[in-house]
Amino acid sequence: MLLNPSPMKTIKLFAIVLLIISSFIKLQSQTTEFPFQNSKLTMEERINDLVSRLTLKEKSTLMLYNSPAIDRLNIKEYNWWNECLHGIARAGKATVFPQTIGLAATFDPELAFRVATAISDEARAKYNAAIKKDNRTQYMGLSFWTPNINIFRDPRWGRGQETYGEDPLLTSRMGVAFVKGLQGSDSHYLKVAACAKHFAVHSGPEKTRHTFNAIPEERDFRETYLPAFKALSDAGVEAVMCAYNRLYDQPCCGSSPLLSDILRKEWGFKGHIVTDCWALDDIWLRHKVVPTQAEAAAMAAKAGVNLNCGYIYKFLPEAVEKGLITEKDVDNAIKPMLRTRFKLGLFDPDALNPYSKLDESLVNCEKHQAIAYEVAAKSVVLLKNNNVLPLNTKTLKHLYVTGPMAAEINALLGNYNGFSGSMATILEGIIQDVDAGTVVNYNIGCILDNKEKFHGYWEADGADATVVVLGISRLFEGEDGDAMLNDNGGDRVSLSLPENQLTLLKKIREAAPKKPIIAVITGGSAIELKAVLDIADAVLFAWYPGEKGGNAVADIIFGKQNPSGKLPLTFYASEKDLPDFDNYAMKGRTYRYFEGKAQFPFGFGLSYTQFEYSQLLAKITNPKKTDSIAISLTVKNSGNYDGDEVVQLYAAKEISKISHPLKTLIGFQRISLKKGESTNIVIKIPASLLAYWDVKDKQYKIEKGDYRIEAGSSSEDIRVKTKVSFSN
């Protein structure tokens, strides 16, 4: 104890006391100046108090995505627009995970949860860092318009890469896991606000999305297009984004049957509804269902839209003045959006929010880079292997690497991406894996948009093996306006590879007729690969594998990883096998309804090892209620490598009075087995997955009779079968 402190120490002690007192006063003023700032009140009390203090004009501006500050109420400006499909997008440094379709190829919801948890950690860290410098610009907020859970019904859709594929169950499970990882587990605060998009029946064509009218059959609507949205609503997703297109003649962002009757009333959705960007312009300008902007604003607000990405809600005061909508309607519309801001902690002191402590050391940290690598390694799909893979680095003397995607960073990214500063192209991954005694030559081979120039293909003859990296990138497919080498709004007209890439591959084979060729294909969708399969000895499909994609692909080529990815969509032999792109009927689409011969079926993916299936049993756990089915089976790794297998369960109605899918995925589980190891798997399946939509009675029903239960390594590679019967 200091009995006689020095004057300098006394001054310092006094300064510390003043700082503590001023901080306490500031905290008190932040929470008690207005009741809505008092965190001890209930959420509804705070929302109602805030709404009562807002003018009609202020309400309308707060319902815009670029919400301005309201200084008199100490409300800071906030920009709602943010993206994180596979990492924080468009906001500088962030971990770049594989594109969503690649994550889907892992068939691993637990991994999706870890990816989303890492993303939300980085989101909060970046937000906290931005607020310290008073940076409240677009892409620095906490509301993320992710995930995209539209069904990838047609592989020509340029934005299909953003989805979890063509199956409702896979999309539901991966999407729910992602939402839970994003939103966090705190009982009071959201880490970030996730958003399910685009509601509903939205999957191209991109060029006509602002005028298109989707008219699916009612059963397709209920059995294919809605289940994932229902699953995410049930899981508590904070927001839903309505789509550009019309559905059954009504603009999705102005449809009371869609937003009010189904989403709010039938499903009990409690979050907020946001428009796709400038979708309300479509209502009056392109769909032309109303003649003015004020009427478009009124139509959307009355249908249930709470937040406008665009400017049309500036016309809400005019709509009230003209009697198109009441101010009470506006009050009801603004409340769900304000609730989200409260749940994010935007009106509370940082000291109350556990996520305010996350700092920028988390951004692209080693842990998150490791997860990005894990996803890439588990997502790569081995389509063909004539026993040339894995390559042996101990005996390899000379490797030739070529192809326009080998050193191309766009081949890693996909769309809606960030950048990390630690990207590894496939060429770089290969270089890192081989030792100093191995020659590795590289030549681009051909240029993306040039059909006449080819170079270096003759080097293949002097190498022990050639790795040729082909495919497409976000320059070829994506959102309307983004794909710079695409004249079709980002959608693909053909499923084929660019012609010059196939020419390069043929030239390599002609130059080295007896040398192994390993083809690596990048892309976000199904690609017709007949010519590649005819020429190459091994084919790997790498998707857009993110910042560690090059390392993962190389490790698979050299046997450090065993490929285990599975296709989350059907690879068709040709676009000629598909119905018209703008036909939203599911007949002839996806493994559930396509009756032709697929190039590669849904769920397909080879391994360096083999797996045996046996002892499949299926039992209805409560025959009177028929609420679930318990399915068990044994899987053994009978090959020579440790490896992962994705066990897939399918069901089909044996004899039916109504139409059913050919088969449908009802369960799946990724397992890891050492060579020679076996395991028994038990999976409980909700019986509701076997239900169909009764158009007459407007409800889901399970048809009586026998159902075939199948287990296998893909939708066509079925190893064991059994039956269950429903008598109720």
Measure CA 241 to chain center: 14
Same domain, yes or no: 208 and 295:
yes
Residue 130, domain extent: 53-362
Residue 113 contacts residue 180 (beta carbons within 8 Å): yes
The single residue of 166, 276, 295, 644 carrying the catalytic annotation is 276
Which of 525, 558, 593 delimits the end of a domain?
Answer: 593
Per-residue pLDDT, averaged over 660-685, amounts to: 97
Active site residue 276: yes
Instruction: State the pLDDT at residue 3.
Output: 42
Q: What angle do CA 410, 415, 416 make, to 5 degrees?
A: 125
Same domain, yes or no: 267 and 383:
no
Same domain, yes or no: 245 and 319:
yes
Among 11-15, 215-219, 507-511, whose mean pLDDT is lowest? Answer: 11-15
Per-residue pLDDT, averaged over 141-150, amounts to: 98
In tens, the pLDDT along 69-126 reads 999 999 999 999 999 999 999 999 999 999 999 999 999 999 999 999 999 999 999 9
In tens, the pLDDT along 423-458 reads 999 999 999 999 999 999 999 999 998 999 999 999
Q: Which of 305, 311, 314, 245 is nearest to 271 (CA)?
A: 305
Same domain, yes or no: 575 and 631:
no
Instruction: State the pLDDT at residue 627.
Output: 84
Which of 334, 362, 390 delimits the end of a domain?
Answer: 362
Per-residue pLDDT, averaged over 563-575, amounts to: 98
Q: Which of 279, 278, 257, 254 is nearest to 266 (CA)?
A: 257
Q: Tell me the CATH number at 303.
A: 3.20.20.300
Query: CB within 8 A of 330, min separation 6: which ones?
Result: 56, 59, 60, 301, 316, 320
pLDDT above 60 for 275: yes
Which of 362, 383, 412 delimits the end of a domain?
Answer: 362
624 in any annotated domain: yes
pTM of the model: 0.95
Same domain, yes or no: 569 and 638:
no
pLDDT above 90 for 727: no
Same domain, yes or no: 454 and 497:
yes
Q: Tell me the CATH number at 717.
A: 2.60.40.10
600 in any annotated domain: no
Instruction: State the pLDDT at residue 449.
Output: 85
Same domain, yes or no: 340 and 397:
no
pLDDT above 70 for 477: yes
289 in any annotated domain: yes
Same domain, yes or no: 385 and 316:
no
411 in any annotated domain: yes
Query: CB within 8 A of 243, min separation 6: which ones?
Result: 197, 198, 199, 200, 201, 202, 209, 252, 253, 276, 279
- Residue 17 banded pLDDT, cuts 50, 70, 90: very low
- Residue 12 banded pLDDT, cuts 50, 70, 90: low
- State the residue for tokens 């189904």: 262
- State the residue for tokens 């007896």: 514
Residue 472 contacts residue 527 (beta carbons within 8 Å): yes
Same domain, yes or no: 355 and 378:
no
Give residue 631's identity as a one-letter amino acid code: I
Per-residue pLDDT, averaged over 313-336, amounts to: 98
Instruction: State the pLDDT at residue 622.
Output: 76
31 in any annotated domain: no
Alpha helices in 304-419 (DSSP H): 316-321, 327-343, 366-379, 410-413
Same domain, yes or no: 631 and 518:
no
The whole-chain average pLDDT of the chain stands at 95
pLDDT above 50 for 701: yes
Q: Tell me the CATH number at 396.
A: 3.40.50.1700
Active site residue 534: no
Cis peptide before 200 (omega within 30 of 0): yes
- Residue 406 banded pLDDT, cuts 50, 70, 90: very high
Per-residue pLDDT, averaged over 185-204, amounts to: 97
Same domain, yes or no: 578 and 640:
no
- Residue 1 banded pLDDT, cuts 50, 70, 90: very low
pLDDT above 80 for 625: no
290 in any annotated domain: yes
How many C-alpha atoms does 188 have within 13 Å on its Cβ side?
12
Same domain, yes or no: 572 and 625:
no
- State the residue for tokens 């065993």: 562
What's the domain count of the chain?
3
The single residue of 238, 477, 480, 491 carrying the catalytic annotation is 477
Instruction: State the pLDDT at residue 626.
Output: 65
Residue 137 contacts residue 129 (beta carbons within 8 Å): no
333 in any annotated domain: yes
